Amino acid sequence: MSISEGMNPRQMEAVEHTEGPLLILAGAGSGKTRVLTHRIAYLIEEKHVPPYQIMAITFTNKAANEMRERVDRIVSFGAEQVWVSTFHSSCVRILRRYADRIGYGNNFTIYDADDSRTLMKAVIKKLDLDTKRYKDRALLATISAAKNERISPEQYRKDAGIDWQLQKYADAYDEYQAQLQANNAMDFDDLLVNVVELFEKCPEILESYQERLRYLMVDEYQDTNTVQFQFISLLASKYRNLCVVGDDDQSIYKFRGANIENILSFEKFFPDAKVVKLEQNYRSTGNILAAANEVIANNKGRKDKRLWTDSEDGPLVGYRQFMTGFEEAEYIAGEITKKVRIGGRNYRDYAVLYRTNAQSRLFEEKFLMANIPYKIVGGINFYARKEIKDLLSYLKVIDNAEDDLAVLRIINIPKRGIGAASLGKVQEWADFHNISFFDALLEAELIPAMGRAASKIRSFTSLIDVLKAKSEYLSVQELLNLIIEETGYSAELEAEGTDEAQARLENIDELISKIVTYEDEAEQPTLGGFLQEVALVSDIDTVDENSDYVLLMTLHSAKGLEFPYVYMAGMEDGIFPSYLTITSDDPGDIEEERRLCYVGITRAMKELTMTSARQRMIRGETQINKTSRFVREIPRELVDMGREYEASRPNAEPDLRQQGGLYGAMKNLYQMENFKPRQFTVKKADRLEYEEGDTVRHVKFGVGIVRSIVEGGKDYEVTVEFEKAGVKKMFASFAKLQKL
């Protein structure tokens, strides 16, 4: 296959510029992955660069795998030696060799979001912080933001000055990091921060990687944060062969620490950089691109570019407004059903995008009633389910016994009768002697007043010692099967005999299948390697493109995907953009929301339909919102408001162009001074029977985990992550959750 085959002039210009810094401004659907893979092939085939000197970094495992597969198809020899991975995977690979240089063991554990929250709750308890004032999520978000800017606990405390509340945050940050290091664990942010620290403390290690990786390519550069920029800058500082690909119009992760200035100021950091714009789109029709261009043109903080295509204009962008959110969901469900059954389309051709996870509920209800198969991206992660977390914790303890969280999770699974008082004494012993919790368990018989609990603890530690010894020669699959057999985990679920227990057994079977796949594909499968792989899985990596279901997801989750037919729901001011964004003093907030809208529009390949509701229930109250300003920014000639289709329906929603009829009557009604929408009231309980982290059951959504509880004036707003139904926000009085 010729490297230039199927490439346009601008793409080839980017491919052939191999020396020095290069910024590729790649608009949505402009073939950036093709450019990156062909550039790798060009370096190997034409420039004779050894494949092992090339590094390509992406943001998801899915993108990394796609890039590697494409390179394999183009390059005849050596493609497997190209370093293609995500930021986090790259950092783990480096730290597995050199973490001991910065005070960690090389077998460190990677904490996911749930692990971090569990640890932070322990920190809050240890510091005796007021749980109403200091929430674990808020503390973790603050710490994450600090790490993204490489602000250490010491610097954070110094910056806090005399602000006593910020000093409490500094206390939590300091203790959180101390506990992580004591557990020989790192959270996701630490992976990057620690690699940069390693490079700065050990210049000889940095130089070895600079020599090893002389050509660097970074995808989705607009989403990088400060510490990622430092990581890349250090690697590229010697040979300066840095190619970054991104689109400032798709920078939508400010809330995660992404710094749009990294791409906007690239030429400032690298004055000799070459800039190539990719503006020809290969994904969407002309009318969809025209709408996207008109919306994003309202942003001031952007580089000038305009998408275009050789493809046909296609249908106009659809817009439908409904009286309520129920009617909106009913319409979308009906349209998908009709087009699949009559039009011969597949369910997987459709995606419904919305601003917040809470908007999924109505679509789930309508899709269930219409028998439409669907998958929610962003629901409860497979690896966050109880039975999976339990078995993975056994594997983690075998791999790294210093991981106190994992030890505490499994010490009574199955039930061993080791009470909280006994565990408290072990923790005190560990703290006093400055040893890990597991090491303190090994000394249980030396701890005063342990009584009969000491023999029960000895039974547990003996099991772990046996499993650890056998892990030296057993495969990961054999080790997991042994854990299941020795603990009686599956036998206990089988004896339970409920549908829920059966579902958990099926999840365990799926975990075993995952291990088999890992061991078949990995060059040198290890227990640590498997734990590393599952720790770095993201929601989008679980999407199976061959399965026939409609995808329901937030606009943030949709980035990087494309669908023939897209519905963007909830297009109302107050929903999208959100009320907080509209009232913000920072103009950058509304620009980020507009970029998010641009991302949503450009996911559509053939048809795009935007929908809104005149009135929508939010937090138990009916709100009336205007059509989203983003819809109004699309020129009228590009929008189909459905007059012909709606007119054929006897009870149809009116065309927005009509000023009379039902729409005119409703408009006049809303403007009446004494008009008030219906209000819904709730009775607030004095206290709830469940807390954050508890497992609960909902009469409709099934079993889930309470993720947050926010006390409001009228009721408690409870966020629950259900195993099958995903994340739901609900009022406690309506939800009637039962603690399990």
Active-site residue list: 32-33, 219-220, 250, 603
CA 733 vs CA 14, 72, 324, 716, 726: distances in Å: 58, 56, 23, 8, 20
**Separation between Cα atoms, residue 358 and residue 361, nearest integer Å:** 6
Classify the phi-psi angles of 318: left when phi > 0, otherwise alpha if psi is within -120 to 50, otherwise beta: beta
Instruction: Say how far apart CA 739 and CA 720 lie, in whole Å.
Output: 12
d(CA 332, CA 352): 9
Question: Helices in 346-419 by DSSP H: which ranges?
Answer: 360-369, 386-399, 404-410
Angle CA(431)–CA(436)–CA(440) in degrees, nearest 5? 75
In terms of C-beta density within 10 A (0-12 exposed, 13-18 middle, 19 or more buried), how is residue 647 classed?
exposed
Of 407, 414, 464, 398, give the one whose Cα is nearest residue 430: 407
Sort residue 58 into left (φ over 0), alpha (ψ -120 to 50) or beta: beta
Side-chain-side CA neighbours of residue 286 (13 Å): 7
CA distances from 425 to 428, 430, 447, 450, 459 (A): 5, 9, 8, 8, 18
Q: How far apart are CA 730 and CA 453, in angstroms?
A: 42
Question: Cα(first)–Cα(last) distance of the chain, in Å?
Answer: 59
Phi/psi for 132 (5° steps) reads: -75, -30
Chain centre to alpha carbon of residue 374:
19
| Whether 588 contacts 302, CB under 8 Å | no
Contact 10, 280 (CB under 8 A): yes
CA angle 222, 227, 233 (to 5 degrees): 80
Place of tokens 């607030």: 684
DSSP for 207-250, please give it: HHHHHH--EEEESSGGG--HHHHHHHHHHHTTT--EEEEE-GGG
CA gap 334, 399 in Å, rounded: 51
Instruction: Show the DSSP H helices in 400-498 as ranges.
Output: 404-410, 420-433, 437-442, 453-470, 476-487, 489-496
Beta bridge partners of 729: 719
Task: Taking the CA atoms of 120, 580, 264 and 600 in sequence, report the sign of the dihedral they define.
Answer: positive
How many CA atoms are closer than 13 Å to the CA of 308, on its beta-carbon side?
5
Helix (H) or strand (E) holding 617: strand 604-618
SS (H, E, C) 548-567: CCEEEEEHHHHCCCCEEEEE
Q: What angle do CA 610, 614, 616 make, to 5 degrees?
A: 95
Handedness of CA 65, 68, 70, 76 (dihedral sign): negative
